[in-house]
């Protein structure tokens, strides 16, 4: 894990190369949530890209071309447009953030024309996932992207684990390929949390499935001192300890694996904390059936939907006695206000410490936002799957194709 992080830290940054009078393409992460009227609900990912874009503008780039994706459209042929996923919905917000005109290009050909027609333009190209060649990492499509620039900048950490044309294939055809400020900030923050952290190091992990966090739990045991496990995934661990979880979500086929993780943690001296009490109900919509009970005494036909108050206090004490905290995954069905209290309490506890706190995963960030503590943690990673793969000890493929320091 540490060797991989160090290798990723060695990539050249945009400040290490000359961009004056050169066409610069920036792979941004503009995969932001939109409401039914296509209004941007949360623009953190767009805001995080602004320093890199402004640097290119301020340092004399001939043009700045922005490429990225929004949502998961499934084109039937190249250029197939699905309006709900169009980057056209992002132009006004981007202009406001940059305080500069942004030209919208419906196609790569139009982007080429805009480069010739205007002096130092900022160009936003339509959602690349409208093209089959993007996700397929088609060499010809990657070359078409590369024809728009002499310098390629990857500033999209959230897709840096994908071998797509705009994150991987393009590098073959561009002479200079470097990391943007956000990509650098992301990897340096993970290095701070994992490579040379202040101890004790705590991992708070939640979510619905053990299966999605198996590699993470196995690989991180050498790097952390304590682990808090909550959310529905804790049900499987409690069931492995012979608790009757009643109607709670349990991954029966992973009970032995859960026991193995607990045994491995014990051998390595890593303290694992599980819920001691839970909030349970017969149905998410039947709030009159809600009960708080010890974890080993869940009522018949009830399912655990949140950590209980005693668990919140226990977990908060563990958090207060940590110097580095990594949090990935909510600790309950936080989307239902009545069952969000546990996750919100953990958000409060983490925001109220002096520890270095690294938050990853879209649901976890949503918890912080809803609880009002988004600005009270040390670093929020913009990558969901990328963050998880990094914590699993993998080298993110997009870093492999960037230029490195001698």
Residues forming the active site: 45, 209, 362, 385
Q: Is 368 annotated as a binding residue?
A: no
User: What are the DSSP calls for 264-323, one per residue?
Assistant: HHHHTT-EEE--SEEEEESSTT-GGG-EEEEGGGPPTT-EEEEE-HHHHHHHHHHHHT-S
Q: Is 126 annotated as a binding residue?
A: no
Neighbours of 353 (CB within 10 A): 19
Neighbours of 26 (CB within 10 A): 26
Q: Is 47 annotated as a binding residue?
A: no
At which residue do the structure tokens 């202040």 appear? 198
How far is Cα 326 from Cα 309, in angstroms, rounded to an integer?
A: 22
Q: Is 206 annotated as a binding residue?
A: no
How far is Cα 280 from Cα 286, in angstroms, rounded to an integer?
A: 11
Q: Is 253 annotated as a binding residue?
A: no
Q: Which helix (H) or strand (E) holds 105?
A: strand 103-105
324-328 vs 356-360, strand pairing mode: parallel
Q: Is 213 annotated as a binding residue?
A: yes
How far is Cα 351 from Cα 357, in angstroms, rounded to an integer?
A: 8
Q: Is 362 annotated as a binding residue?
A: yes
Q: Is 360 annotated as a binding residue?
A: no
How far is Cα 57 from Cα 99, in angstroms, rounded to an integer?
A: 12
281: Cα within 13 Å, side-chain hemisphere: 16
Q: Is 335 annotated as a binding residue?
A: yes
How far is Cα 164 from Cα 175, in angstroms, rounded to an integer?
A: 18
Q: Is 43 exposed, middle or buried (0-12, 13-18, 19+ CB in 10 A)?
A: middle
Say if CB 91 and CB 124 are below 8 A apart: yes
Q: Is 369 annotated as a binding residue?
A: no
Q: Is 29 annotated as a binding residue?
A: yes
Q: Is 370 annotated as a binding residue?
A: no
Describe the strand order of the beta sheet including 324-328 as a list of residue ranges: 271-273, 226-229, 201-205, 324-328, 356-360, 379-380
Neighbours of 354 (CB within 10 A): 9
Rounded to the nearest 5°, which phi and psi values hold at 293?
-140, 165
291-294 vs 277-281, strand pairing mode: antiparallel
In DSSP terms, 380 is beta-bridged to 359
Binding site, by residue number, is 29-31, 45, 69-72, 129, 162, 213, 335, 361-364
Give the residue numbers of the binding site for ATP: 213, 335, 361-364
Q: Which residues are annotated as a binding site for substrate?
A: 29-31, 45, 69-72, 129, 162
């Amino acid at each position: 894990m540490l060797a991989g992080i160090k290798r990723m830290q060695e990539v050249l940054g945009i400040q290490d190369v000359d961009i004056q009078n050169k066409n610069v393409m920036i792979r941004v992460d503009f995969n932001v949530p939109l409401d039914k009227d296509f209004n941007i609900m949360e623009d953190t990912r767009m805001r995080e890209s602004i320093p890199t874009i402004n640097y290119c503008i301020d340092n004399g780039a001939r043009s700045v071309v922005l490429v990225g994706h929004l949502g998961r459209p499934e084109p039937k042929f190249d250029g197939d447009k699905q309006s709900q996923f169009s980057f056209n919905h992002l132009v006004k917000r981007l202009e406001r953030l940059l305080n500069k005109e942004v030209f919208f290009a419906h196609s790569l050909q139009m982007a080429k024309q805009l480069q010739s027609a205007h002096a130092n333009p900022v160009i936003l190209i339509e959602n690349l996932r409208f093209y089959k060649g993007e996700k397929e990492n088609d060499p010809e499509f990657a070359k078409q992207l590369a024809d728009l620039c002499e310098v390629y900048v990857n500033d999209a950490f959230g897709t840096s684990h994908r071998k797509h044309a705009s994150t991987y294939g393009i590098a073959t055809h561009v002479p200079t390929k470097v990391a943007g400020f956000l990509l650098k900030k992301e990897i340096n923050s993970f290095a701070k949390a994992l490579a040379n952290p202040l101890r004790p190091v705590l991992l708070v992990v939640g979510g619905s499935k053990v299966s999605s966090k198996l590699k993470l739990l196995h690989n991180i045991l050498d790097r952390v001192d304590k682990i808090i496990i909550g959310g529905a995934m804790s049900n499987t661990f409690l069931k492995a300890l012979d608790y009757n979880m009643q109607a709670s979500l349990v991954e029966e086929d992973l009970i032995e694996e859960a026991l193995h993780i607990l045994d491995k943690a014990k051998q390595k001296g890593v303290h694992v904390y599980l819920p001691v009490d839970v909030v349970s109900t017969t149905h998410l919509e039947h709030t009159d059936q809600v009960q708080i009970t010890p974890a080993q005494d869940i009522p018949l036909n009830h399912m655990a939907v949140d950590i209980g108050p005693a668990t919140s206090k226990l977990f908060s004490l563990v958090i207060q006695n940590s110097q580095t905290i990594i949090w990935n995954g909510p600790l309950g069905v936080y989307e239902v206000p009545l069952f969000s209290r546990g996750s919100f309490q953990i958000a409060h506890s983490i925001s109220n410490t002096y520890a270095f706190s690294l938050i990853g995963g879209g649901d976890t960030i949503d918890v912080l936002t809803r609880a009002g503590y988004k600005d009270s943690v040390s670093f929020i990673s913009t990558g969901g799957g990328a963050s998880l793969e990094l914590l699993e000890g993998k080298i993110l493929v997009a870093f492999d194709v960037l230029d490195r320091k001698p």
